[in-house]
């Protein structure tokens, strides 16, 4: 698939023979998303700030290091157990900034409303955004509202972008990942994806599964207070833990080994995943993070995470290894090994 | 319509008896847009940075003043004479930052793609964004791509947000507008709106009318070099010159007087407006600005604007007056006076 060496200047760098049109899978957080970014967007926009493919860009202005991040939210439905698109949009960008090690300060709000959206629904979403901003300690300082005709949108899409400040000494970066790093996961996975899928598919589970959407900047502060040697933070949203780890392994050209039995999954989510035929490793999270930490600091970071309400079920789930570079391998519960890869198709469209 | 004093806590503050649903007119840049912002979004998100309702927020981080702005682009069609949605999205946010008096530095790009978008179209747009960024001297440093199902979008929607730095001493702000200020317009109006409408309506004019989309940060630099007493800059996009002036008059509680004969409109645009039944004052511009300048500095600012390629047809079109506060009045070509107001309905949906 890597045709970048054969591409004529100005020609579309994606294999249009395979994909003449954009497909839903290009938004899955899986292989096609990765391909779109790696082969089209990144080479075109290439610059040293975009290069690291972090959750946000980090740059200095007059000696102050800032992080800047953007995310659009197209989740369907817009209201789901445990949250709504407004809360998700605020927490999502707060989290992207936090994953850069930044303290989130200011957010922008771009609303794309579909003609016919009930005014009361908009009002609920707007209130929810303000509540989420207050809870995360950020301010919504600038905004924009656009309208599209009926049938050219889906109730509401929201973009939030955010600016945060990096404390001195913090350097969280995909390029820092080293062999021997321990990988700590902050809690039970696949909750958000299953919460959204359950309403979308009209499934009623015995226990309602509510989205884990939450602002992680407080948890990140605890982590950074426990260790100033954290190498990388990543919130495994679209594409799930599998997608996040596969991307990190590829960019670091190192192997990642994870242990199935150490990955926290709640019983209701496990059951729902079985019913829906989903692998929880690929299901989106909106209130969890992965921390890559040198082995000798892992225990103190784990303890700090366990002491935080949003990290109470944290666990060390694996480590970075020199073998199988670029690849994530899971030791399964039954003692075997399997490769954990990005999804090649589309599993859960419009999950965030 | 002002019911804010009667609203119960938690109740939707918009008169739902009139508008139970969001309508296209809520995106017109006219009265309903204004109402949505003033009565719902602003009171809910209220904070001192959002308050000024500027084109962006201005705040200090470690003593450095930054501007931060966001805009989503839903223009239809995505390619039009003189530009495309990608170029528009870059220039639009560059201009919003420039209107704050800031030097635009970094932009984010949030793409919402509709399943089925031809890959070649995406490629054209991505290239166009990069070209526009280079031309404006900004970097696209962080991004996000989301996919929505066929029929839930319209090819591509783009959000750009941006961060810029404010030079020392610059204070451009709606609150600065004073009686006696001269209003300078940087060139011929209504060009962008007519360019888009002409393709949308399938009209062929003798002379092709190409969008005026352009980055205005260079022109703003020339203006600020000519005077450090510029009170306000505003790019009259959606809602046109009329919408921008009406909003400024209202927020400043001062009157604005403009002179029809001094407002530059090209002959082809004038003709097209007549055919389409549009008032050029309400038609969107994407490469023009309005500068509010103290009378004794107006001439030097005008000369600086005339010397810049993007301001070659600049003209003083009016002044700020104490009479008729909150209202814009135009002296017409035939010697009468008429009130220039925001549009109450929807005239040109999805023009940007």
* A23·B120 Cβ contact <8 A: no
Would you list the DSSP string of B68-125? EEEEEE--SSSEETTEEHHHHHHHHHHHHHHHTT-EEEEEEEEEEEETT-BHHHHHHH
Q: Which among B30, B46, B62 is the end of a domain?
A: B46
| Cβ atoms A233, A170 nearer than 8 A | no
Q: Name every chain A residue with its beta carbon within 8 A of the beta carbon of B161.
A: 70, 108, 110, 159, 161
d(CA A141, nearest CA chain B) in Å: 5
Give the pLDDT confidence score for residue A340 in this predicted structure.
95
- Based on the domain organization, do B321 and B189 belong to the same domain? yes
* A157·B112 Cβ contact <8 A: yes
* pLDDT average, residue stretch B121-135: 96
* pLDDT average, residue stretch B298-308: 98
Average pLDDT, chain A: 92
Q: Name every chain A residue with its beta carbon within 8 A of the beta carbon of B112.
A: 72, 74, 112, 157
Please report whether residue B347 resides in a domain: no
- Based on the domain organization, do A76 and A185 belong to the same domain? no
* pLDDT average, residue stretch B178-185: 98
Q: Name every chain A residue with its beta carbon within 8 A of the beta carbon of B37.
A: 145
Statement: the pTM of the whole predicted model exceeds 0.90: yes
| Cβ atoms B80, B195 nearer than 8 A | yes
Residue A200 belongs to a domain with what CATH number?
3.90.650.10
The contacts of residue A2 (CB under 8 Å, 6+ apart) are A39
- Based on the domain organization, do A199 and A75 belong to the same domain? no
Angstrom distance (rounded) from CA A288 to CA A159: 21
Higher pLDDT, B198 or B12: B198
Q: Name every chain B residue with its beta carbon within 8 A of the beta carbon of A66.
A: 61, 66, 163
d(CA B48, nearest CA chain A) in Å: 8
pLDDT of residue B13 exceeding 80, the answer is: no
* A145·B349 Cβ contact <8 A: no
- Based on the domain organization, do A79 and A187 belong to the same domain? no
- Based on the domain organization, do A318 and A192 belong to the same domain? yes
Facing B106 at nearest CB: one of A26, A68, A139: A68
Facing A27 at nearest CB: one of B19, B146, B151: B146
* pLDDT average, residue stretch A104-133: 96
pLDDT of residue A6 exceeding 50, the answer is: no
Please report whether residue A352 resides in a domain: no
* pLDDT average, residue stretch B302-307: 98
pLDDT band at A7; cut points 50, 70, 90:
very low
Please report whether residue B351 resides in a domain: no
Give the pLDDT confidence score for residue B30 in this predicted structure.
82
Give ipTM to 2 decimals.
0.94
Angstrom distance (rounded) from CA B261 to CA B331: 8
pLDDT of residue B15 exceeding 70, the answer is: no
pLDDT band at A5; cut points 50, 70, 90:
very low
- Based on the domain organization, do B60 and B36 belong to the same domain? no
Q: Name every chain A residue with its beta carbon within 8 A of the beta carbon of B33.
A: 145
pLDDT band at B5; cut points 50, 70, 90:
very low
pLDDT of residue B176 exceeding 90, the answer is: yes
Q: Name every chain A residue with its beta carbon within 8 A of the beta carbon of B59.
A: 105-106, 141
Angstrom distance (rounded) from CA A329 to CA B86: 40
Q: Give the residue from B47, B102, B147 with the most A CB atoms within 10 Å of its CB, the best one to mutate.
A: B147
Total tally of structural domains belonging to chain A: 3
Please report whether residue A348 resides in a domain: no
Question: Which tens digit of pLDDT belongs to each residue from B234-256?
Answer: 999 999 999 999 999 999 999 99
Facing B40 at nearest CB: one of A37, A41, A126: A126
- Based on the domain organization, do B300 and B238 belong to the same domain? yes
Helical axes B119-136 vs B85-99, angle rounded to 10°: 30
Tokens 């779109």 found at: A36
Angstrom distance (rounded) from CA A26 to CA B112: 11
Question: Which tens digit of pLDDT belongs to each residue from B248-283?
Answer: 999 999 999 999 999 999 999 999 999 889 999 999
Nearest CA in chain B to A9: B127
Angstrom distance (rounded) from CA B23 to CA A94: 31
pLDDT band at B51; cut points 50, 70, 90:
low
Q: Name every chain A residue with its beta carbon within 8 A of the beta carbon of B129.
A: 44-45
Please report whether residue A351 resides in a domain: no
Give the pLDDT confidence score for residue B44 in this predicted structure.
84
pLDDT band at B346; cut points 50, 70, 90:
low
- Based on the domain organization, do B148 and B269 belong to the same domain? no
Q: Give the residue from B143, B165, B174, B345 with the most A CB atoms within 10 Å of its CB, the best one to mutate.
A: B143
* A148·B41 Cβ contact <8 A: no
Q: Which of A165-174, A179-188, A204-213, A264-273 has the lowest mean pLDDT?
A: A204-213
* A12·B142 Cβ contact <8 A: no
Question: Which tens digit of pLDDT belongs to each residue from B60-91?
Answer: 999 999 999 999 999 999 999 999 999 999 99
- Based on the domain organization, do B133 and B282 belong to the same domain? no
d(CA A20, nearest CA chain B) in Å: 5
- Strand (E) or helix (H) holding A341: none
* pLDDT average, residue stretch A258-282: 95
pLDDT of residue B37 exceeding 60, the answer is: yes
Phi, psi of B232 (to 5 degrees): -155, 145
Residue B243's domain spans which residues? 174-340
Angstrom distance (rounded) from CA A72 to CA A143: 14
* pLDDT average, residue stretch A171-180: 94
Give the pLDDT confidence score for residue B343 in this predicted structure.
81
- Based on the domain organization, do B197 and B261 belong to the same domain? yes
pLDDT of residue B4 exceeding 50, the answer is: no
Please report whether residue B280 resides in a domain: yes
């Amino acid at each position: 698939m890597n045709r970048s060496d054969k591409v004529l200047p100005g020609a579309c760098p994606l294999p249009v023979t395979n994909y003449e049109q954009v497909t839903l899978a290009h938004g899955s957080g899986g292989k096609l998303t990765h391909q779109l970014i790696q082969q089209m967007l990144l080479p075109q926009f290439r610059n040293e700030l975009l290069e690291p493919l972090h959750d946000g860009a980090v740059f200095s202005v007059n000696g102050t290091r800032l992080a800047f991040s953007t995310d659009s939210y197209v989740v369907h439905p817009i209201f789901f157990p445990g949250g709504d698109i407004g809360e998700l949009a605020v927490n999502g960008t707060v989290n992207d900034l936090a994953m850069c090690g930044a303290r989130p300060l200011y957010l922008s709000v771009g609303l794309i409303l579909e003609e016919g959206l009930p005014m009361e629904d908009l009002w609920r979403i707007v209130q929810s955004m303000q509540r989420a901003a207050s809870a995360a300690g950020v301010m919504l300082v600038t905004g924009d509202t656009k309208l599209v005709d009926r049938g050219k949108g889906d109730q509401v899409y929201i973009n939030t972008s955010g600016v945060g400040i990096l404390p001195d000494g913090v350097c969280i970066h995909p390029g820092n990942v080293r062999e021997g790093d321990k990988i700590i996961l902050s809690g039970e996975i696949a909750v958000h994806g299953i919460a959204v899928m359950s309403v979308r598919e009209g499934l009623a589970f015995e226990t309602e599964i509510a989205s884990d959407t939450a602002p992680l900047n407080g948890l990140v502060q605890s982590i950074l207070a426990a260790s100033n040697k954290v190498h990388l933070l990543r919130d495994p949203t679209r594409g799930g833990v599998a997608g996040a780890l596969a991307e990190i392994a590829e960019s670091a050209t190192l192997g990642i080994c994870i242990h199935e039995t150490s990955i926290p999954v709640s019983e209701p989510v496990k059951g729902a995943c079985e019913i829906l035929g989903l692998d929880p490793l690929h299901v989106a999270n909106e209130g969890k993070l992965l921390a890559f930490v040198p082995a000798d600091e892992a225990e103190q970071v784990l303890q700090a995470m366990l002491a935080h309400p949003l990290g109470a079920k944290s666990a060390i789930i694996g480590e970075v290894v020199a073998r199988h570079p670029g690849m994530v391998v899971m030791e399964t519960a039954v003692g075997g090994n399997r490769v954990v890869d990005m999804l090649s198709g589309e599993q859960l469209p419009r999950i965030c």
